[in-house]
Amino acid sequence: MQGKHPTPPDSASPSPQSTAAGLEAWLAGANAEAIREGTGTLSAGHPPATASEPTDAIGPVNAAEALALRRIGTAHRLTGPDGAELVIDPDADAYYFESTALVPLNVLLQQPADAWTPVYSRSIEAARAAAGAPQALARLRWYAGLIATPGILSRRLNRADRYELTSWPETEREFPQYFRIAREMLKGAMTVHEVVAASGAAYEEVVDFINACFAAGRIETAPGADAKPPQLSRRQRLLAILNKPLFGR
């Protein structure tokens, strides 16, 4: 939902802004000329992909996307400009932060992806002891997916595919604007545009919600009707013929 999530102030580093036009241009390889010259960079120093490269060749555009894409498998820390600390603890499936609300995490998660720093055994034990009750990591992943690429479908998803919500997100009370989207997506698998039509929500809201639920593992995906079947190699086609029953050849 572009415009509803605050973004950090501009910096001197040559990283794109998290806007639909800017991010989609970078993901599509709009800086291909700079790549060929070796001067193109993306947030955290990752080179942008060319049009022929998969989008996963581009590093996460911010700390939120790194978390949403599960690029971080061990304990890590984010420190905000005001000194606030967020610690994730995948081994315990938990995170630690001074507030139980998710919105205060926005500033931390909009930092570059390389702002995450490893937390080692002694430090993570201290974080667990100091934080009190741990909070569910899936809840944080949900929020990270929500704000990572506002208005842009996750690079792991396809606009033509159909999506079904498998369970109600725990964050729904904190974000009531997504209630009607969740309600429709529990009814069955739909494309992004079908969810927009059924819920009456804005396209950007639907995309952000789908990204969030996908990051939290609450979405089931089915290929769209226009999806092409996988192309078999010559060897695979020959094996398929040989493996058929004799009467079926």
Tell whether 69 and 131 lie within a shared domain: yes
Question: Is 83 inside any structural domain?
Answer: yes
DSSP 8-state secondary structure symbol assigned to residue 162:
E
Q: What percent of the chain is predicted at pLDDT more than 90?
A: 54
Beta-carbon contacts of 44 under 8 Å, excluding residues fewer than 6 positions away, are: 15, 59, 60, 112, 113, 114, 115
Cα–Cα dist 23/31, whole Å = 11
Tell whether 165 and 210 lie within a shared domain: yes
Determine the pLDDT at residue 121.
81
**CATH number where 172 lies:** 1.10.10
Q: Which of 111, 142, 173 is the last residue of a domain?
A: 142
Q: What percent of the chain is predicted at pLDDT more than 70?
A: 65
Question: Is 160 inside any structural domain?
Answer: yes
Question: Is 134 inside any structural domain?
Answer: yes
Q: Provide the pLDDT confidence category of residue 123 given band limits of 50, 70 and 90.
A: confident
Question: Is 7 inside any structural domain?
Answer: no
Determine the pLDDT at residue 170.
75
Closest CA to 5 of 18, 23, 24, 22: 18
Tell whether 106 and 167 lie within a shared domain: no
Tell whether 184 and 121 lie within a shared domain: no
Q: Which of 89, 123, 142 is the last residue of a domain?
A: 142
Cα–Cα dist 209/143, whole Å = 9
Check residues 139 and 48 and name the one with the higher pLDDT. 139
Q: Which of 142, 166, 185 is the last residue of a domain?
A: 142
- Give the model confidence (pLDDT) of 185-226 as tens digits: 999 999 999 999 999 999 999 999 999 999 999 999 988 755
Tell whether 108 and 131 lie within a shared domain: yes
- Give the model confidence (pLDDT) of 51-99 as tens digits: 334 456 688 999 999 999 999 999 999 999 999 999 999 999 999 998 8
Tell whether 132 and 172 lie within a shared domain: no
Question: Is 200 inside any structural domain?
Answer: yes
Provide mean pLDDT across the span 112-140: 87
Question: Is 208 inside any structural domain?
Answer: yes
- Give the model confidence (pLDDT) of 8-52 as tens digits: 333 333 333 344 444 555 454 443 343 333 333 333 333 333 333
Q: What is the DSSP string of 77-110?
A: EEE-TTS-EEEEEGGGTEEE-S-S-SGGGHHHHT
Question: Is 177 inside any structural domain?
Answer: yes
Determine the pLDDT at residue 157.
95
Provide mean pLDDT across the span 141-166: 96
Provide mean pLDDT across the span 163-169: 92
* pTM attached to this predicted model: 0.71
Question: Is 164 inside any structural domain?
Answer: yes
Tell whether 129 and 96 lie within a shared domain: yes
The range of the structural domain enclosing residue 78 comes to: 64-142
Determine the pLDDT at residue 173.
78
Tell whether 74 and 113 lie within a shared domain: yes
Tell whether 169 and 131 lie within a shared domain: no
Provide mean pLDDT across the span 107-135: 87
Tell whether 89 and 117 lie within a shared domain: yes
Is a pLDDT exceeding 50 seen at residue 155? Answer: yes
Determine the pLDDT at residue 144.
97
Mean per-residue pLDDT over the chain, rounded: 77
Check residues 188 and 124 and name the one with the higher pLDDT. 188
Tell whether 137 and 163 lie within a shared domain: no
Determine the pLDDT at residue 24.
56
Determine the pLDDT at residue 249.
46
For the chain, the domain total comes to 2
Tell whether 116 and 157 lie within a shared domain: no
Determine the pLDDT at residue 129.
75
